[in-house]
Amino acid sequence: MFRVGTRNWVVGAVLGALSVTVATQAGAHARHHHMIRRFVHFAEARVSGVAHVIQCVAFAKQDAGIQISGNARDWWTNAAGIYERGSRPEAGSVLSFTENGRMPLGHVAVVSAVEDSRTIAIDQSHWNGPGITRDLEVKDVSENNDWSAVRVQLGHGGGFGSIYPTHGFIYPRPDQGVLVANVTRAAMPALDRAPADLRRGRHVMETEVAEAPETGRGLDLTVPVSFDAPNRGLR
């Protein structure tokens, strides 16, 4: 027979072992539950990030304080009678890209700085990916320095992409009934080869090779198109 003291010691030892086992299992369960919560939180963040991509129109409205209805390609026309427009670059204005084969709904970007008559910096969203890019350089490559054709920097410190047609600039002030002209006439910038010229309309094929320009214009368009701004259905 066990004595009372011995029995109490045995019971205590058993209960202690059970407590350690339960505590270990509880700790493992807690760690497992924490890992699950972290995974769910990460998944929700990824889904939330994808679901809340800021399109270029929404970004321009917020960043420039300009409220215009319609897709990006409609902004130039819809701004008439409301906001002043023109071909002179100004910080805080919106550069309006026309529709073309790569961007059937157009594009808008906010001018963050004016470096010279041929160079500006822009802030924009959803250009070549679902995110915001700031202070990318844009070069005017139009013959008359009227900003009707531009090339956008592919990345900070990088080269420049294809030639995109633009309407001009929309300024965050009331329309005065007259387009603001760019009175400065600077020489054509010396850039790397332009992958393609997209000024011929929205139906230009992305895989075609652009024709070479006339001699003396300083633009070599004989190389294949690059995909610096892919098709996007929503602006």
Total tally of structural domains belonging to the chain:
2
User: Mind spelling out the 3-state secondary structure of 126-185?
Assistant: CCCCCCEEEEEEEEECCCCCCCCEEEEECCCCCCEEEEEEEEEEEEEEECCCCCECCCCC
| Residue 171 shares a structural domain with residue 72 | yes
Note the pLDDT of residue 222.
Answer: 34
Note the pLDDT of residue 130.
Answer: 80
| Residue 23 shares a structural domain with residue 4 | yes
Note the pLDDT of residue 184.
Answer: 86
Q: What is the pLDDT of residues 81-108, one digit of tens each?
A: 999 999 999 999 999 999 998 899 999 9
Note the pLDDT of residue 16.
Answer: 52
Note the pLDDT of residue 5.
Answer: 53
Note the pLDDT of residue 67.
Answer: 96
| Residue 44 shares a structural domain with residue 143 | no
Q: How far apart are CA 164 and CA 96, in angstroms?
A: 11
| Residue 69 shares a structural domain with residue 92 | yes
Q: What is the pLDDT of residues 174-189, one digit of tens each?
A: 999 999 999 988 999 9
Question: Can you tell me whether residue 2 is helix, strand or coil?
Answer: coil
| Residue 59 shares a structural domain with residue 170 | yes
Note the pLDDT of residue 35.
Answer: 41
| Residue 45 shares a structural domain with residue 59 | no
| Residue 73 shares a structural domain with residue 30 | no
| Residue 123 shares a structural domain with residue 213 | yes
What residues of the chain score a pLDDT lower than 50? 1-2, 4, 6-7, 9-11, 14-15, 18-51, 201-227, 230-235
| Residue 12 shares a structural domain with residue 95 | no
Residues written for the chain: 235
Q: Among residues 28, 52, 76, which one ends one of the domains?
A: 52
| Residue 109 shares a structural domain with residue 98 | yes
Q: Which domain holds residue 15?
A: 1-52
Q: Which of these, 166, 170, 159, lies nearest to 140 by C-alpha position?
A: 166
pTM of the model: 0.67
Note the pLDDT of residue 94.
Answer: 98
Q: How far apart are CA 214 and CA 219, in angstroms?
A: 9
| Residue 107 shares a structural domain with residue 135 | yes
| Residue 36 shares a structural domain with residue 62 | no
**57 contact partners, CB below 8 Å, separation of at least 6:** 71, 72, 75, 108, 235
Note the pLDDT of residue 52.
Answer: 54
Note the pLDDT of residue 128.
Answer: 79
Q: How far apart are CA 91 and CA 107, in angstroms?
A: 18
